[in-house]
Amino acid sequence: MKFLFAAYAATWLIHTCYMGTLARRFTQLRNQIKEIAERK
Amino acid sequence: MKRLLPIFGAITTALLGFALYEALIGAPTEQTMGNVQRIFYYHVSSAWTAFILFFLNFVASVLYLVRKNDSQGLKDRLANWVVIALGIITCIAAYLIKLPDGIERSSVASTGIAAVCIYFLVRKYFPEDRGDALAVTTAEVGVVFCTVVLVTGPLWARPVWGIWWAPGDVRLTSTLVLWLIYVSYLILRRFSSSGQTPKIAAVLAVFGALDVPLVYFSIWFFRTQHPQPVIGDGGSIDPRMLHVLLLNWLAFSCFAALLCWARYRLEVLRREVDETLALESLLEPRGSR
């Protein structure tokens, strides 16, 4: 059973990490857009 | 689209939850392997999702190469006819050529028709640079799903085969090579700033896509440690297990579509920001920095 749970946990860990990186990149981009808007 | 997204997200979450319940509790327990066989539902559905994403990447890359330096649209028209011809040839060949046991003729023919449809859909909805953005998106999300396959595979192999990895096994090695090709594709896109990068990346993606059929058909053509196909003509899978597998595949496909939507939006926004910054630096008077 431990291998089964490890596989399922690993799957969701990989997806969660990827969603985390996407969220981080969105935040960085949003800050960049805000900076550009302030400069104009 | 923006209104539909939360609904689609809610449906996907519900589907993933139900698919997880079915995989862990609803599906019957396999007699030889026991509960560890339930890894199958995540492993196989992730692999199929990755293959579809890599195929989309291939189509988007081919379209990018076709459209590049094609002001009169001649190459584009020629490519359309080539794709239609390939679809027809695939359908005819599926019923004329002797196929290996386990491969259904109707599956090959319908795959050929689906490939042609996907090509024309991508061509219509992702014009010009949008095709390149789609290529980056599908490669990245595809690598995520391929990583899941490469992680869940050894976790399934260890209790069943007694080893984490079978060195020299064609299915395992070709999957690892596929992952490495697309990781190099992403590294190239991330760290190269040359104007030729999208073109080089598109060529690399076309070569990478050639590995997908090798991964998929390797268990038919080579003797491998990896199990023989259990789905399709001559497959021995229990219908209830097949139902759970298809449910998980549907759930992961919807999830992949959501991830692709987010990543695609990020890519389009990033390109717009880069263009604005480039324009700003051009308009800025000299010595103002």
Tell me if chain B has a CB within 8 Å of the CB of A25: yes
Helices within chain B (DSSP H only): 4-21, 39-67, 74-96, 105-125, 129-161, 170-191, 197-209, 211-221, 239-283
Q: Which of B33, B152, B280 to mutate to test the interface with A (most CBs of A within 10 A)?
A: B152
Taking only the tens place, the pLDDT of each residue in B243-289 is 999 999 999 999 999 999 999 999 999 999 988 888 888 877 655 54
Query: With contacts defined as CB-CB under 8 Å, which chain B residues touch A1?
Result: 35-36
Choose among A7, A25, A26: nearest Cβ to B42: A7
In DSSP notation, B234-249 reads: T----HHHHHHHHHHH
β-strand partners of B30: B34
Cα–Cα distance measured from residue B21 to residue B1, given in angstroms and rounded to the nearest whole number: 30
Query: With contacts defined as CB-CB under 8 Å, which chain B residues touch A38?
Result: none
Tell me if chain B has a CB within 8 Å of the CB of A21: no
C-beta of residue B241 within 8 angstroms of C-beta of residue B27: yes
Tell me if chain B has a CB within 8 Å of the CB of A9: no
Handedness of CA B116, B119, B121, B123 (dihedral sign): negative
For residue A23, give the 3-state DSSP assignment.
helix
Tell me if chain B has a CB within 8 Å of the CB of A31: no
Cα–Cα distance measured from residue B246 to residue B90, given in angstroms and rounded to the nearest whole number: 25
**pLDDT lower than 50: segments of chain B:** 289
C-beta of residue B72 within 8 angstroms of C-beta of residue B82: no
Q: A31 falls in which pLDDT band (50, 70, 90)?
A: very high
Q: What pLDDT was estimated at residue B107? A: 81
Tell me if chain B has a CB within 8 Å of the CB of A10: yes
For residue B288, give the 3-state DSSP assignment.
coil
Q: What pLDDT was estimated at residue B229? A: 66
Taking only the tens place, the pLDDT of each residue in B212-239 is 888 887 777 777 777 766 666 556 778 8
Judge: B39–A18 Cβ closer than 8 Å, yes or no: no
What 8-state DSSP symbol labels residue B271?
H
The residue with tokens 């923006």 is B2
